Amino acid sequence: MSENPRLLPWPGPAGQRSYLVTDGGGRSRLSRLADQLEEAQLQAGDILLGHAADMLKDVDVNPWELRYLSACLHEALRDALRVAESRGDRLPVPEDDDTDNNGTSPHAEEAAS
């Protein structure tokens, strides 16, 4: 069984975070579906950024179009942050980790002095 549950790229029935615990090591059907949805979300965000750049150059764009663009960008950013969090949680932790509990290297403070 996996050590850490995987944050899924879709919300649960009540809008809460959904997690997957599997013993398939990321090869289960649901893991593959989550991978595919994450990829689709990131691609959609990339396409949306292109549309946003075009719209922001257009002097004739109306406020309602910009409002809709903002809502879509908000959704894409939320999805991208969820993907980043999920993928970050699945990164292996190095065995000889020289960081203290707050994530900074003890040598960073010495170098700053």
C-alpha distances out from residue 106 to 30, 91, 96, 112, 113, Å: 40, 22, 13, 11, 12
Q: pLDDT value at position 74?
A: 98
Q: pLDDT value at position 107?
A: 55
Ordered by start, the domain boundaries in the chain are: 6-91
Distance CA 25, CA 31 (A): 9
Q: What is the pLDDT along the chain (113 residues), one digit of tens a residue?
A: 556 899 999 999 999 999 999 886 778 899 999 999 999 999 999 999 999 999 999 999 999 999 999 999 999 999 999 999 999 998 888 887 566 666 665 555 555 54
The structure's pTM equals: 0.75
Q: pLDDT value at position 79?
A: 97
